[in-house]
Amino acid sequence: MNSIDETPASSDAMVLVPEQPPALADSADDTPFSSNAHSSKQWEQTLLRIIPAIVSIKMIVVRSFDTDSQKSSQASGFVVDKTNGIILTNRHVVHPGPILAEAIFNQSKEEIKLIPIYRDPVHDFGFFKFNVNDVKYMELVEIPLVTSPEKVRIGVDIRVVGNDSGERLSILSGTLARLDRKAPFYGAGKYNDWNTFYYQAASMTSGGSSGSPVLNVEGEALALNAGKAFGCKSFVTSFARIVRVFEYLRNGVTDIPRGTLQTVFNYSPYDEVRRLGLLPNIETEVRNEFPDGTGMLTVNQVIPKGPADGILESGDILIRVNGSLLTKFVPLESIFDSSVGQSVKLQVQRGSELKDVELLIQNLHEITPDRYVEIGGGILNTISYQMAKSFMIPAAGVFVASAGYMLGMAGVSRKCCIMEVNNIPVPTLEKFIEVVEGLRDCERVPLRFYALSDINKERVSLVQIDRRWHGFSLAIRDNTTGLWNYSEMKPCIGPALYTPHTASHLELEGNLGPGKHVIPSLVHIECHMPFFIDGVAHSVGAGIGLVVDANLGIVVGDRHTVPISLGDVLLTFCNSIIVPAKIIFIHQVYNFVILKYDVALLGETYVKSAVFSETELAQGDSVHMVCLSKAYQALVRKTVVTNKRQFFVSEPVPPCFRCINVEGIELENPLTTAGVLADESGRIQAFYAAHSKYTSKGRSEFFMGMPISIIAPAVSAVRSFYLEHGPAQSQQLPLDIIGYTLEAELSYAQVAHARVLGLPDVWVRRIEGTHLSRRNVLVVRRLTARSGAAKMLKEGDMILAVDDVAATNYYDIMKLTDRKELNLTILRDKKELTVTVPASLMEISTSERIVGWSGAVFQMPHKSVHQQLKSVPEGVLCSVVYEGSPAQMYHLHPLSWITEINGEKISDLDDFVAAVSKIASDTFVRVKTVNFSRFVTVIAIRTNSHYFGAWQLKRSSSDWELETIQCG
């Protein structure tokens, strides 16, 4: 298996070098292995002279594009023109898409900004440019490129000098072992090279050494380190075509002609081409013309709809080009590059037949994408020659380089190709833009696409257009500046317009008991989240909702499905109608949310308001589970309550919502899906929902029932508000609608354990008298940081009574939502105390403002952070750092707080926005951070407003609003 750039170390490397067959010596003094006799002193002098020309390169691939994904990385390069400031490195280092790069000169340790000026469409080389005046503390040195075959021989002693495995400078020795190595294959859909020879060297290179020069003892570059393979091989690439491009660039020409037939050739030895039918007389003629040759070029692959499609075929043997015999890659490409837009004549042998054909040479840059579309957090570009070659498709069409939020929610992934949007073909990016500009925000339209991994299967899904959470723009590469310049697309024409529909509800058989009364109250909920905030690290949630008021459009769901306030929620009724819903209430302690939809969108559809039971479920009670499967199939099962118990969800990292202070209902042989628990008449006794749990393997779910009596007060308050103020979707609930809560996580302790800890007998008797079958003592497990409760209580305190009434279960505390203070009797260190503990106003939503800067998202610490940390640092919390961003490159980590920017104290998001708005693009900013473990770190981040501008998303009285923050 071959690899490039960041891949872990291997024992062999390949270098890209001039192409010729192995040279053999004629005398003992000219043997290929005589170069190994060079003394270490010679090498020491050479390396001291040329090391100043070698640089370590740090780069950010700022957008996924073509074969590359967004990431940060490191590599090497070397100065080849000290006058014009030109650095040679690999194409997979310069990258085909937008990039930010810096060079660190190994002698002076100066960090210099790089501008990409050329990346070859096929071969693994590219060039950066830097301002020579920026190098102030050393004299620039350049390394000459060797193109003479006489200096490149098997056995030549070499040194590979560069940034090896993340080191600033590493010198690795080796020898050239082979000069006609087939180009390495790095995998389908990844960057690959073809139509060239590689050298092979045993040099022990590893990740980060890409772009290093392969040096001889005279200090000349014989080749360019390119990739590696397992074993003891290094791939190095030839300078034969590199020198041509270099001469153009040093003369100020960036529009470099490159020609193609969209055809991949192989170099096949004579024995192989003979098996393909090579005529003896032609073989004799070729051998006489090229006595040192060992084979000929054959056609390996012809790209569909390319210039050679239908004319050349796999297995064709190339005999002549423009009347001259030709057997090598370099002269073939020389003809193509000098004949762009012109015809060339080829003679090929197919079987026993000679064919003369004339083909038009295409401009290779025409099938190399130079623009991309950003929409819905995703990236689209035209299908490139690289992808066309990997998957045998035409080099045209809309390619998904990154699905992002909008396309990802439609089931589209990277390396898919979009064929139609809203039933309109989109063969080009321009047509895609035209179609999407005519669609509304949140409008759901059909999308036809296929995955390159399965080109025989087309798929159709529904995509919801996103013009709210993300921008819509077109970026085009400027070869002069190296930037990809953005132009915004037309403004959104407005929100989606929904047409009311009517559907019939599911009719159930009579033997399904209360199911027929309950099913008309159940709906499917799907929640899409565009950003990872409040510790949530997934983009989609799906579950079951319960309609509690069909006239007002109020639905209860769970926080496993809808964990945060920021997102798009869709409700499915009767498996027939999908309508949007707003998140109007999220409980900060219990596992439920309240949603609201526009009832007018359901027409005459029958939807039933659920009826709550006033009878509490107890252990041993019979109950009916009524659920909906993912396929909207009604599921009904009669079962028994086996237990009502406390349950704990382990504290996840990063902190996120955990249901606390509630007893869960366990059932005998339950269904593993969400729904409700109902009595024989269909009255709801409990909400049976999914809960999130977290392990080292990630997030998973478990199901537990929650008494409906816990949900009923919130539902009643919300219903009363809308009855009084009207059911308008824009109405926001008052912050005090639910009331107050004790900011403490509680647990149950056995009376026996409590007695050992000092619980007096008088309290034992009072607690035992509250419940004949259950004997619990409430213990403070955690306290919410910065809360009133944290000032008055301690972890381990036993809560014995509220207002001198013995408290033995969670609800004795949690039901007191109308109290701003609680008079508690507690036991601490075997001492009975009476304390007045302030209660806190319960939050009814999660974070409602986030800020993006330097490729990271920031917010104020959310409730789960305060619940999990004893002391929460001042400042703003970094909730996510995106791959391929300045934040990632300069080691800003998620779950850390920014407390200072350039010496300014940061207390909240207002301070943060004010500080970053003063920072000019492309300057370093000093950032002080505190991590989850309270370690303080100061880092410097080079900002970039072009690709990573600052923005904020805020929830207003009506909806979320995306704003751009002007910086500098």
Q: What is the largest CA-CA distance in the chain?
A: 113
Residues 6+ apart with CB under 8 A from 845: 565, 583, 585, 586, 955
**End-to-end CA separation in angstroms for the chain:** 47
Distance of alpha carbon 633 from alpha carbon 714, whole angstroms? 29
Query: Omega before 8 cis (within 30°)?
Result: no
- Are 116 and 128 in contact, with CB atoms under 8 Å apart? yes
Determine contact, residues 225/234, Cβ cutoff 8 Å: yes
Active-site annotation holder among 3, 66, 92, 120:
92
Do 385 and 122 touch, CB atoms closer than 8 A?
A: yes
Could you say which of 209, 234, 238, 565 is catalytic? 209
Structure tokens at 266: 């192989």
**Cβ–Cβ contacts within 10 Å for residue 728, how many?**
10
Asked whether 149 and 18 are in contact (CB, 8 A), the reply is yes
Backbone angles phi, psi at 898, to 5 degrees: -90, 120
Classify residue 65 by its DSSP letter.
B
The CA distance from 845 to 851, in Å, is 18
Does the annotation count 558 as an active-site position?
A: no
φ/ψ (deg, to 5) at 891: 70, 40
Residue 287 in 3-state DSSP? helix
Which of 12, 66, 68, 124 is catalytic? The answer is 124
Please name the residues in contact with 745: beta carbons below 8 A apart, sequence gap of 6 or more. Answer: 660, 661, 780, 781, 782, 783, 867
| DSSP code string of 240-262 | TTHHHHHHHHHTT------EE-S
Q: β-strand 821-828 against 831-838: which pairing, if any?
A: antiparallel
Beta strands per DSSP E along 809-935: 821-828, 831-838, 840-841, 849-853, 856-859, 876-881, 896-901, 904-905, 924-931
Active site residue 124: yes
Question: Residues 96, 368: contact at Cβ < 8 Å?
Answer: yes
Burial class (CB in 10 A: 0-12, 13-18, 19+), 123: buried
| Cα 563 to chain centroid, rounded | 20
| Residues in contact with 889: Cβ distance below 8 Å, sequence separation at least 6, in sequence order | 58, 60, 72
Residue 243 falls in which region: left (phi positive, over 0), alpha (psi -120 to 50) or beta:
alpha
**Can 501 be counted among the known catalytic residues?**
no
Q: Which residues contact 626 (CB under 8 A, 6 or more apart)?
A: 514, 515, 518, 519, 522, 634, 635, 636, 675, 676, 677, 678
> How many Cα atoms sit within 13 Å of 946 on the Cβ side?
17
Three-point CA angle 687, 690, 696, nearest 5°? 155
- Cα 501 from chain centroid (whole Å): 37
Helix (H, G, I), strand (E, B) or coil at 524: strand
For 832, phi and psi rounded to 5 degrees? -85, 125
From the list 464, 589, 466, the residue with the least C-alpha distance to 526 is 464
Euclidean distance between CA atoms 176 and 870, whole angstroms = 61
Nearest of 584, 772, 594, 558 to residue 686 by alpha carbon: 558
Tokens of 964: 């751009």
Return the active site residues.
92, 124, 209
